[in-house]
Amino acid sequence: MPMPAAELEAYLREAFPDADIEIEDLAGDGDHYKARVVSSAFAGLGRVRQHQLVYAALKGKMGGELHALALETSAGPP
């Protein structure tokens, strides 16, 4: 069963309440998304660690309900 964009965003907002989040459904199937997450929680962290935090926020949904997620993360403007 695909994951609606609103559900994906809800998981991210729960983990990163201060974040600027943009979700794009890449294939129109609720299964392949691009997410842009800008959060102060990422300050001082490398890209890999930032992405690990996002995957952790999805609580095991990656690979199941959510097949593919292209991530763009940052801590915001310098």
Residue 45: which CATH number?
3.30.300.90
13-58 confidence digits (pLDDT tens): 999 999 999 999 998 888 899 999 999 999 999 999 999 999 999 9
The number of domains in the chain is 1
User: Is 22:35 a contact under the CB 8 Å cutoff?
Assistant: yes
Residue 31 is predicted with a pLDDT of 86
Residue 60 is predicted with a pLDDT of 86
In angstroms, the CA 5 to CA 48 distance is 23
Q: Please, which pLDDT band fits residue 62 given cuts at 50, 70 and 90?
A: confident
Partner residues linked to 69 by β-bridges: 33
pTM of the model: 0.90
Structural domain of residue 25, as residue ranges? 5-74
Q: Is the pLDDT of residue 78 over 80?
A: no
For residue 73, which of 4, 12, 7 has the smallest C-alpha distance? 12
